[in-house]
């Protein structure tokens, strides 16, 4: 990461250097800070920090998988593992660090892993598929992330930490107790004050148990070492450059080694203040200093902020500044609520300055507290107001940070720079400010604060952002939803008259949005009365319009499970009507090529055979995909098919701001691809893990883990509330992925709403879902039973049985497809053809 930041910084300044990069790993730089997200489905490509074409665009010779193995300082050459000898005028060492493995017997056995690279994670995942119990050696930041990954893969998990508390370098005893209790409540077994004496193996050489220094023996079959890192300074040692007593290449404030032609940056360097920095922000600062020096400017590194904020097994943990109170005479301000799992401590100088702090369980204030601690100015309010919850008299509203306060420590971006991006450079959104300043593009912990600064700057500049749905409604979709729900409005005309503007009949934006709201609130059949006039083409005919004017027919196949007779029925219908058939990625059978007047006849046969509408045409639940689960698969640990069917039948017909897709996987092998869905479920040995906010398509996003090891009733209740809260608060045509990204407080807020009922609306959400389940009726069955509704299914009102001659097909691979404009085609009448020639 630090090496890549150096390349970026070099490319941002004029220079004439020819750059060669020697990389040990087989891939360009990627985000190690987010490495654990790989286990939840984030791909290596998504973790990459190197945009496609970056090396070529900057004239960089990038050599992957061929690291440097020696340096000849006299000849100024570097030799690579592949035997290449490269000369240099300047050499930058960004070799990072390596995982420390304690020298215990058996640490090299099969089943022992380290946690550093994507290849390491691939090996851990493969091992976890065959394991039952895992242990992590090390209770620091990375160790707890590793424990979370093992637990999410269904392993019984132990954490072994030599220090008397978890995260000993970041939190104090009080914070450590709260953190331990929260992690143990999640089912992870914690052993503190204990080292690893040895690892015992079986006859096959694989791990079978771990012996601790207190005599405890743990039956484990997978071990992950995360006991810290050491600087990778071997190249410097071998060529005679000075290194520190405990490792690290000695550099001065300009990141130069004892050889002025060689610089070292990042975790491999021992900085001028005598520290080896293992965080990304100091590494980036060193990279930028070295780049400035090599382009003729002045650059120096004299130290950096070592604050951290992360979520460990769902628990917020943050520390900043002098978190442990090492400053002589410092005072503590504490707030602790063990019932809620919250611990907050501020370290205060006697003169009133904030020196540092620890936050466990609630780290929302971190983005504001950290720059206050860095700035060194007296606190603007009483210290307790910064950490007390609102119910106890704090916090005292938004804090006014000085412009020089550093908001983004990863890229050293101040509040003033963010404001200038808005007021001087014309940025009109947080997204534009991120591109302009890089604020928020590192660890992301400053995004909420940065967003508030951008909003304040826009407001101060008199810039108004349109909130309304369209020209007819000044309200957002969420506000209109509440208006309709509270006032019991059942028609568009009344809503427009009472809460809209203009004299028209609405527009293509508000009409389908209001139609969706009315349908979500159970306002009868969507084709009845005024509601029918609001629907777009697809909902208007309960089928998807295709490119040649024909329609698709998609029966619901819950969970992808279908009987042989059901397959035969669908096949016979496709044959008799001459329809194209396709097995979809959602485990359904789509039938294409039906004319509008054929839709009732096709659906009459499907309904008679027990099929229902699959809602492929609506902004509603589409599918709940499943693997075969424990019923058939030797790896399955739960009945994924049964759950998928239950979920699909429960949420069928649920109208939403956008389509909804789901999946259920029977084990951590994830064959149903649940983490790419709006809500996905993965079985564990203890229950079900629930993921939300996933999205495929044009802008893929992997789902976030909302809750773990839920029993079946709790899982269903949680999904109920998630769906109803989304329907209630999302914008028009907003899928769950962007909704979750936009939701203030994000996943943490969502978790509080649906699990802890922080807004007091859980009962109402439960009742709304219960009403949907009780009132559900198949839309196509209802159409077939009503002659009035059937009247809309004609191509020509004055000739109801006449087929549209413009809907033409040609044969391809023993089926039909739409005819092109210059192709001779035929019109389907039943399963027979009427030829139509083009001239």
| Tally of residues, the chain | 839
Check if the beta carbon of residue 827 is closer than 8 Å to that of residue 807: yes
Does 460 have pLDDT greater than 90? no
Check if the beta carbon of residue 818 is closer than 8 Å to that of residue 547: yes
Q: In this predicted structure, what is the pLDDT of residue 552? A: 93
Please name the helix (run of DSSP H) or strand (run of DSSP E) that holds residue 285, with its range, or none. Answer: helix 280-294
Cβ-proximal residues to 811 (8 Å cutoff; 6+ apart), any chain: none
The arithmetic mean of pLDDT across residues 490-513, rounded, is 82
Torsion, CA 497, CA 498, CA 500, CA 505, rounded to 10: -20
d(C-alpha 478, C-alpha 465), whole Å: 17
The arithmetic mean of pLDDT across residues 38-58, rounded, is 87
Check if the beta carbon of residue 81 is closer than 8 Å to that of residue 23: no
432 DSSP assignment: H
d(C-alpha 706, C-alpha 751), whole Å: 6
3-state secondary structure 166-182: CCCCCCCHHHHHHHHHH
pLDDT band for position 220 (cuts 50, 70, 90): very high
Lowest model confidence (mean pLDDT) among 25-29, 100-104, 434-438, 795-799: 795-799
Check if the beta carbon of residue 253 is closer than 8 Å to that of residue 293: no
| CA-closest candidate to residue 722, choices 779, 681, 683 | 681
Q: In this predicted structure, what is the pLDDT of residue 830? A: 58
The arithmetic mean of pLDDT across residues 719-747, rounded, is 91
Ranges assigned E (strand) in 541-657: 551-553, 580-583, 589-594, 621-626
- Dihedral of alpha carbons 564, 569, 570, 572, sign: positive
Instruction: Map out the domains of the chain as residue ranges.
Output: 2-98+231-294, 101-227, 305-399, 477-535, 621-775
Check if the beta carbon of residue 265 is closer than 8 Å to that of residue 391: no
What are the residues facing 470 on neighbouring strands? 473
559 DSSP assignment: G
**What would the pLDDT profile of 467-484 be if each residue is shown by its tens digit?**
677 778 888 888 899 999
Fold equal for 2-98+231-294 and 101-227: yes
The arithmetic mean of pLDDT across residues 656-667, rounded, is 95
**What would the pLDDT profile of 378-421 be if each residue is shown by its tens digit?**
777 777 777 876 544 444 433 456 777 778 877 778 888 888 88
- DSSP of 476-493, one letter per residue? -HHHHHHHHHHHT---HH
Distances (CA, A) of 207 to 132, 404, 607, 724: 12, 53, 57, 47
Instruction: Tell how strand 222-225 and strand 112-114 pair up.
Output: parallel
Mean pLDDT for all residues in the chain: 87
| CA-closest candidate to residue 355, choices 384, 321, 386, 382 | 321
pLDDT band for position 832 (cuts 50, 70, 90): low
Q: In this predicted structure, what is the pLDDT of residue 399? A: 46
598 DSSP assignment: G
| CA-closest candidate to residue 672, choices 627, 622, 641 | 627
Check if the beta carbon of residue 3 is closer than 8 Å to that of residue 91: no
- Dihedral of alpha carbons 590, 591, 594, 597, sign: negative
Percent of the chain with pLDDT over 70: 94
Question: How many CB atoms within 10 Å of residue 423?
Answer: 13
**What would the pLDDT profile of 631-649 be if each residue is shown by its tens digit?**
999 889 999 999 999 999 9
Please name the helix (run of DSSP H) or strand (run of DSSP E) that holds residue 321, with its range, or none. Answer: strand 315-321
Instruction: Tell how strand 809-812 and strand 688-692 pair up.
Output: unpaired
731 DSSP assignment: P
Question: How many CB atoms within 10 Å of residue 435?
Answer: 13
d(C-alpha 559, C-alpha 664), whole Å: 9
d(C-alpha 629, C-alpha 640), whole Å: 5
Question: How many CB atoms within 10 Å of residue 432?
Answer: 15
Does 826 have pLDDT greater than 90? no
CATH superfamily of domain region 621-775: Sulfite Reductase Hemoprotein, domain 1 (3.30.413.10)
Please name the helix (run of DSSP H) or strand (run of DSSP E) that holds residue 773, with its range, or none. Answer: helix 762-775
Q: What is the chain's percent helix, strand, coil content, to nearest 5?
A: 35, 20, 45
194 DSSP assignment: -
The arithmetic mean of pLDDT across residues 261-289, rounded, is 92
268 DSSP assignment: G
The arithmetic mean of pLDDT across residues 240-255, rounded, is 94
Classified as helix, coil or strand, 76 is: coil
Which position has the higher pLDDT, 319 or 375? 319
Rg (CA), the chain: 31
Residue 37 has phi, psi (to 5 degrees) of -65, -15
133-137, strands of its sheet edge to edge: 112-114, 222-225, 133-137, 156-161, 189-192
Q: In this predicted structure, what is the pLDDT of residue 447? A: 72
Q: In this predicted structure, what is the pLDDT of residue 436? A: 87
| CA-closest candidate to residue 194, choices 213, 218, 221 | 213
Q: In this predicted structure, what is the pLDDT of residue 651? A: 97
For 522-555, b/e burial (b = at least 16 CB within 10 A) is ebeebbeeebbebbeebbbbbbbbbebebbbbbb
Q: In this predicted structure, what is the pLDDT of residue 799? A: 65
d(C-alpha 591, C-alpha 8), whole Å: 51
d(C-alpha 108, C-alpha 341), whole Å: 38
Lowest model confidence (mean pLDDT) among 448-462, 629-643, 737-751: 448-462
Q: In this predicted structure, what is the pLDDT of residue 239? A: 96
Residue 77 has phi, psi (to 5 degrees) of -135, 155
d(C-alpha 436, C-alpha 444), whole Å: 15
Does 32 have pLDDT greater than 50? yes
What are the residues facing 679 on neighbouring strands? 662, 692
For 758-778, b/e burial (b = at least 16 CB within 10 A) is eeebbeebeebbeebeeebeb
Lowest model confidence (mean pLDDT) among 311-320, 654-663, 707-716: 311-320
Q: In this predicted structure, what is the pLDDT of residue 340? A: 76
| CA-closest candidate to residue 195, choices 176, 214, 208, 220 | 214
| CA-closest candidate to residue 454, choices 430, 483, 490 | 430
- CATH numeric code, 2-98+231-294: 3.50.50.60
Check if the beta carbon of residue 803 is closer than 8 Å to that of residue 594: no
Distances (CA, A) of 356 to 307, 386, 667: 9, 12, 43
Instruction: Tell how strand 60-63 and strand 19-22 pair up.
Output: parallel
Query: pTM surpassing 0.75?
Result: no
For 79-111, b/e burial (b = at least 16 CB within 10 A) is ebeeeeeeeeeebbbbbbbbbebeebebbebeb
Check if the beta carbon of residue 285 is closer than 8 Å to that of residue 255: no
Cβ-proximal residues to 208 (8 Å cutoff; 6+ apart), any chain: 200, 201, 202, 219, 220, 221
d(C-alpha 596, C-alpha 561), whole Å: 28
The arithmetic mean of pLDDT across residues 507-514, rounded, is 84
| CA-closest candidate to residue 409, choices 381, 369, 458 | 369
Lowest model confidence (mean pLDDT) among 289-293, 322-326, 822-826: 822-826
For 305-326, b/e burial (b = at least 16 CB within 10 A) is bbbbbbbbbbbbbbbbbbbbbe
Fold annotation for 305-399: Enolase-like; domain 1 (3.30.390)
The arithmetic mean of pLDDT across residues 97-118, rounded, is 93
Fold annotation for 101-227: FAD/NAD(P)-binding domain (3.50.50)
d(C-alpha 673, C-alpha 692), whole Å: 13
């Amino acid at each position: 990461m630090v090496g890549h930041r150096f390349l970026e910084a070099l490319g941002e300044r004029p220079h004439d250097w020819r750059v060669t990069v020697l990389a040990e790993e087989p891939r360009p730089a990627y985000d190690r800070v987010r490495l654990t997200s790989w286990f939840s489905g984030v791909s290596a490509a998504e973790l990459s920090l190197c945009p496609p074409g970056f090396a070529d665009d900057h004239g960089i010779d990038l050599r992957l998988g061929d690291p440097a193995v020696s340096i000849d300082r006299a000849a100024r050459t570097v030799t690579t593992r592949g035997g290449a000898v490269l000369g240099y005028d300047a050499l930058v060492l960004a070799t990072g660090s390596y995982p420390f493995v304690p020298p215990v017997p058996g640490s090299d056995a099969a089943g022992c892993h380290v946690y550093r690279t994507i290849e390491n994670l691939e090996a851990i995942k493969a091992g976890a598929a065959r394991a039952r119990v895992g242990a992590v050696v090390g209770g620091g930041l990375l160790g707890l992330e590793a424990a979370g990954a093992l637990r999410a893969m269904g392993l019984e998990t132990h954490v072994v930490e030599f220090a008397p508390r978890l995260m000993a370098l970041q939190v104090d005893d009080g914070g450590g107790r709260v953190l331990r209790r929260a992690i143990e409540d999640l089912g992870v077994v914690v052993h503190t004050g204990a080292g690893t004496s040895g690892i015992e193996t079986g006859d096959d050489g694989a791990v079978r148990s771990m012996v601790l220094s207190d005599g405890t023996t743990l039956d484990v079959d997978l071990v992950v070492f995360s006991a810290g890192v050491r600087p990778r300074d071997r190249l410097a040692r071998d060529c005679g450059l000075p290194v520190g007593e405990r490792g690290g290449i000695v550099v001065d404030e300009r990141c130069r080694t004892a050889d002025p032609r060689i610089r070292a940056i990042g975790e491999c360097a021992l900085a001028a203040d005598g520290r080896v920095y293992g965080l990304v922000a100091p590494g980036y600062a060193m990279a930028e200093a070295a780049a400035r020096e090599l382009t003729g400017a002045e650059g120096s590194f004299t130290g950096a902020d070592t604050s951290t904020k992360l979520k460990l097994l769902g628990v917020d943990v943050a520390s900043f500044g002098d978190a442990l109170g090492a400053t002589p005479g410092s005072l503590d301000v504490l707030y602790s609520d063990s019932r809620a799992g919250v611990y907050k401590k501020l370290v205060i100088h006697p003169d009133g300055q904030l020196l540092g702090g620890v936050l466990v369980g609630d780290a929302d204030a971190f983005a504001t507290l950290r720059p206050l601690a860095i700035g060194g100015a007296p606190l603007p309010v009483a210290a307790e107001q910064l950490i007390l919850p609102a119910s106890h008299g704090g916090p005292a509203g938004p804090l006014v940070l000085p412009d020089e306060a550093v908001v983004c420590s990863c890229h050293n971006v101040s509040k003033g720079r963010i404001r200038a991006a808005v007021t001087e450079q014309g940025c009109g959104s947080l997204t534009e400010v991120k591109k302009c300043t890089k604020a928020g593009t590192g660890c992301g912990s400053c995004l909420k604060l940065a967003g508030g600064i951008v909003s304040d700057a826009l407001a101060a500049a008199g810039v108004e952002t349109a909130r309304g749905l369209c020209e007819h409604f000044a309200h957002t979709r969420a506000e209109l939803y509440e208006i309709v729900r509270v006032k019991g409005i059942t028609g568009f005309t009344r809503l427009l008259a009472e809460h809209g503007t203009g004299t028209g009949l609405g527009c293509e934006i508000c009409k389908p949005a209001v139609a969706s709201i009315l349908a979500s609130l159970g306002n009868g059949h969507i084709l009845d009365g005024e509601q029918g006039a609001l629907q777009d083409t697809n909902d208007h005919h309960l089928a998807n319009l295709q490119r040649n004017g024909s329609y698709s027919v998609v029966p619901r196949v819950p969970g992808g499970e279908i009987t042989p007779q059901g397959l035969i029925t669908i096949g016979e219908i496709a044959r008799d009507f001459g329809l194209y058939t396709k097995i979809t990625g959602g485990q359904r059978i789509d039938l294409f090529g039906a004319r509008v007047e054929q839709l009732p006849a096709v659906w009459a046969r499907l309904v008679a055979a027990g099929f229902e509408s699959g809602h492929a045409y609506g902004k509603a639940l589409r599918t709940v995909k499943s693997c075969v689960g424990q019923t058939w698969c030797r790896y399955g640990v739960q009945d994924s098919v049964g759950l998928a069917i239950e979920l699909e039948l429960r949420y069928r017909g649920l109208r939403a701001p956008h389509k909804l897709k789901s999946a259920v996987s029977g084990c951590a092998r994830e064959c149903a691809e649940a983490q790419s869905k709006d809500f996905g479920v993965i079985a564990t040995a203890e229950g079900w893990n629930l993921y939300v906010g996933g999205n495929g398509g044009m802008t893929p996003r992997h789902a976030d883990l909302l809750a773990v090891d839920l029993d079946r009733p709790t899982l269903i209740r949680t999904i109920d509330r998630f769906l109803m809260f989304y329907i209630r608060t999302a914008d028009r045509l907003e899928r769950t992925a962007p909704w979750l990204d936009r939701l203030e407080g994000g996943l943490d807020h969502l978790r509080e709403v649906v699990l802890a009922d922080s807004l007091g609306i859980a009962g109402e959400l439960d009742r709304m879902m219960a009403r949907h389940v009780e009132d559900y009726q198949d839309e196509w069955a209802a159409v077939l039973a009503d002659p009035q509704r059937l009247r809309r299914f004609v191509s020509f009102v004055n000739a109801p049985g006449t087929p549209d001659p413009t809907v033409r097909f040609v044969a391809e691979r023993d089926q039909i497809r739409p005819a092109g404009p210059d192709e001779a085609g035929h019109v389907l009448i039943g399963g027979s053809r009427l030829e139509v020639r083009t001239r």
